[in-house]
């Protein structure tokens, strides 16, 4: 295992210290490293809190700031943060208008965020992100996984909260965004968790995993490597069959790298996906391409499609200033 680390036991602490120092104008770290919070909080707004296991950077800490999250709670690599850490973040950012928890649909995250919400004294609501079409209720114990669509939910809700939307309306908006968003990914290689020291799973030199999860969970099938356009079409077949967008619908196309794929390949994938969506009569009105929701150094990518209406498009376009997303 070759990684730029000093000691396996201190990887996360040192990484968080570096992150907080590099972006000190935007965010600040809790003194006990329990959470990252927005430095210039807007008074009187609903606070948005998310989090989960580390190893998916820049998700979630990279999306703390104006127009997105008020706090992010990192757990150990691929491990949910504990309820006490989540509770500390809730209490730190609650400005009196309530707190909305944005939770990826994984058993540990769901359980720990629910416990923190129950312990909180203020008004707290939760929304689940479950955009991964690779799995369903019959094949995964808690239902669909939350993957790259989490970024879309955090961005749109963050903009709405910044504009003063209340907690109940934000919760309803989250349901709309989630219903309009689907994702699916492909892995070309595994990743290596530092504490494990070996790949999470094995892929042959000419094998890929279609529908892989962001922790290396199995997908729909394992098969031979294929041209990018063939892979894109298989991913979009599943996404479109589930999403069922109306002809002529406007959409956001988000191509996300898992950590080990160069941007040139991600843009090639975007081109193939854009062409396919155009053939389906869909209008790719908004785009995002880059490495945002990762699985350490896994090679591969995911596609996310969100159907947009005027309100969702305007909220996506609204200003955002975070360490990882800014316009």
Catalytic residue among 56, 144, 182, 276: 56
The answer to the question of residue 324 being in a domain is no
- pLDDT tens-digit series, residues 280-316: 999 999 999 999 999 999 999 999 999 999 999 999 9
Q: What are phi and psi of 23, to 5 degrees?
A: -125, 40
Segment (H or E) for 288: strand 283-290
**pLDDT(89) > 50:** yes
According to DSSP, the residues that pair with 56 across neighbouring strands are none
The answer to whether 56 is a known catalytic residue is yes
Please indicate, yes or no, whether residues 282 and 174 belong to a single structural domain of this protein. no
C-alpha–C-alpha distance, residues 68 and 79, integer Å = 23
Please indicate, yes or no, whether residues 58 and 117 belong to a single structural domain of this protein. yes
Peptide bond preceding 60: is omega within 30 degrees of 0, i.e. cis? yes
Please indicate, yes or no, whether residues 43 and 156 belong to a single structural domain of this protein. yes
pLDDT value of residue 138:
46
Name the domain boundary from 131, 146, 179.
179
Q: What mean pLDDT is reported for the chain?
A: 94
Please indicate, yes or no, whether residues 83 and 213 belong to a single structural domain of this protein. no
Please indicate, yes or no, whether residues 24 and 143 belong to a single structural domain of this protein. yes
Please indicate, yes or no, whether residues 296 and 208 belong to a single structural domain of this protein. yes
Please indicate, yes or no, whether residues 170 and 202 belong to a single structural domain of this protein. no
The answer to the question of residue 282 being in a domain is yes
pLDDT value of residue 142:
66
Average pLDDT over residues 54-59: 95
The answer to whether 60 is a known catalytic residue is no
Please indicate, yes or no, whether residues 169 and 247 belong to a single structural domain of this protein. no
Average pLDDT over residues 45-69: 97
CATH of the domain at 261: 3.30.1180.20
The answer to the question of residue 317 being in a domain is no
Please indicate, yes or no, whether residues 163 and 39 belong to a single structural domain of this protein. yes
C-alpha dist (Å) from residue 33 to 61, 73, 84, 274, 292: 12, 9, 12, 41, 22
Percent of the chain with pLDDT over 70: 98
- pLDDT tens-digit series, residues 269-280: 999 999 999 999
Average pLDDT over residues 3-16: 93
Q: Phi-psi region for residue 41, left (φ > 0), alpha (ψ -120 to 50) or beta? A: beta
Q: Which domain holds residue 84?
A: 8-179
Q: Which residue has the higher pLDDT, 166 or 139?
A: 166
Residues in CB range of 247: below 8 A, 6 or more apart:
281, 282
The answer to the question of residue 89 being in a domain is yes
> Do 125 and 90 touch, CB atoms closer than 8 A?
no
Please indicate, yes or no, whether residues 132 and 279 belong to a single structural domain of this protein. no
Confidence of residue 52 (pLDDT cuts 50, 70, 90): very high
The answer to the question of residue 90 being in a domain is yes
Domain count, the chain: 2
The answer to the question of residue 327 being in a domain is no
- pLDDT tens-digit series, residues 90-149: 999 999 999 999 999 999 999 999 999 999 999 999 999 999 999 865 444 567 999 999
Please indicate, yes or no, whether residues 164 and 257 belong to a single structural domain of this protein. no
Please indicate, yes or no, whether residues 19 and 65 belong to a single structural domain of this protein. yes
Catalytic residue among 60, 144, 215, 220: 215
């Amino acid at each position: 295992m070759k990684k730029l680390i000093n000691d396996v036991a201190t990887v996360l602490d040192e990484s968080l210290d570096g992150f907080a120092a590099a972006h000190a104008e935007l965010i600040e770290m809790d003194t006990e490293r329990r959470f990252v919070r927005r430095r210039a909080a807007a008074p009187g707004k609903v606070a948005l809190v998310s989090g989960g296991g580390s190893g998916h950077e820049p998700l979630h800490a990279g999306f703390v700031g104006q127009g997105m999250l008020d706090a992010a709670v990192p757990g150990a690599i691929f491990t949910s943060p504990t309820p006490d850490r989540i509770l500390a973040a809730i209490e730190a950012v609650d400005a009196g208008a309530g707190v909305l928890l944005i939770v990826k649909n994984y058993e540990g995250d769901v359980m720990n965020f629910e416990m923190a919400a129950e312990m909180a004294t203020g008004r707290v609501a939760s929304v689940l992100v479950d955009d991964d079409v690779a799995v369903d209720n019959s094949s995964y114990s808690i239902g669909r996984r939350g993957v790259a669509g989490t970024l879309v939910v955090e961005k749109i809700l963050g903009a709405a909260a910044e504009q003063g939307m209340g907690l109940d309306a934000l919760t309803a908006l989250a349901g709309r965004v989630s219903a309009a968003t689907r994702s699916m990914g492909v892995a070309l290689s595994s990743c290596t968790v530092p504490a494990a020291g070996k790949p999470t799973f094995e892929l042959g030199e000419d094998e890929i995993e279609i529908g892989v999860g962001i922790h290396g969970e199995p997908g729909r099938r394992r098969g031979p490597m294929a041209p990018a356009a063939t892979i894109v079409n298989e991913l979009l077949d599943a996404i479109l069959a589930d999403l069922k967008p109306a002809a002529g619908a406007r959409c956001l196309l988000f191509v996300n790298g898992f950590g080990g794929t160069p941007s040139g390949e991600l843009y090639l994938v975007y081109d193939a996906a854009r062409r396919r969506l155009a053939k389906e009569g869909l209008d790719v009105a908004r785009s995002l391409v880059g490495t945002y929701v990762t699985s350490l150094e896994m090679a591969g990518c995911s596609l996310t499609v969100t159907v947009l209406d005027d309100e969702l498009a305007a909220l996506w376009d609204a200003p955002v200033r975070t360490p990882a997303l800014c316009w």
